[in-house]
Amino acid sequence: MFTGIITDIGSIVSIEGGRFEIACHYEAASIDLGASIACDGCCLTVTNVMPVDDRICNFTVDVSTETLNVTTLSQWQTGQNINLERALKMGDEFGGHIVSGHVDGIATITGQNNEGNSIRFTLDCPDELKIYIAQKGSVTLGGVSLTVNEVQDNSFNVNIIPHTFSHTCWQYAHVGTPLNIEVDLLARYALRASQVAQTGG
């Protein structure tokens, strides 16, 4: 389980089929084999940890064909920066919203405009996900917990404040950038409950 609060920006060291090696700034000793790390919003399992120096370590993850098919991971390239978040621990501050790391699809940035000290990004999401996107609701984009500002059909927008911009991969985003999207779990369950209530099961 995650919160959508990014704790590091990693980079892709190597790609061999479905195996990715990722550089990060976490202490090697703090990463257990089998640990979960959200990589651009996709929950992945650590299969190896390799200390590099006092500040950097590399870890590997193995990615299934299904994950490659439904996320942006198939488009990753060596040297690319990605958002990282360690799994939530008991007692950690819950600063974002409930994020599972199970990506629902890919959203694409279609607009970018400066608004005061923030940047408004407009995105299109897959038609099957638009029912879960609500004004003032939560959404996870590239692993980042964000609040939806406005919604129009399958298009919606979010505002990125300076801190989020400078501490995540939003600083590299532009029109055309694809992002992993995970809809709010509460929205998913609320809709399902409504459907069950209407149909009687």
- Same-domain pairing of 62 and 137: no
Is residue 3 domain-resident? no
Residue 112: pLDDT over 80: yes
Residue 96 or 139, more confident: 139
Is residue 22 domain-resident? yes
Is residue 165 domain-resident? yes
Is residue 18 domain-resident? yes
Overall number of domains in the chain: 2
CA 73 → CA 6, 9, 97, 147, 180, distances in Å? 18, 16, 23, 24, 9
Let me know: does 144 contact 170? Beta carbons within 8 Å: yes
- CATH number for the domain that contains residue 68: 2.40.30.20
88 pLDDT band, cuts 50/70/90, is confident
Q: 129 lies in which domain range?
A: 105-194
125 pLDDT band, cuts 50/70/90, is very high
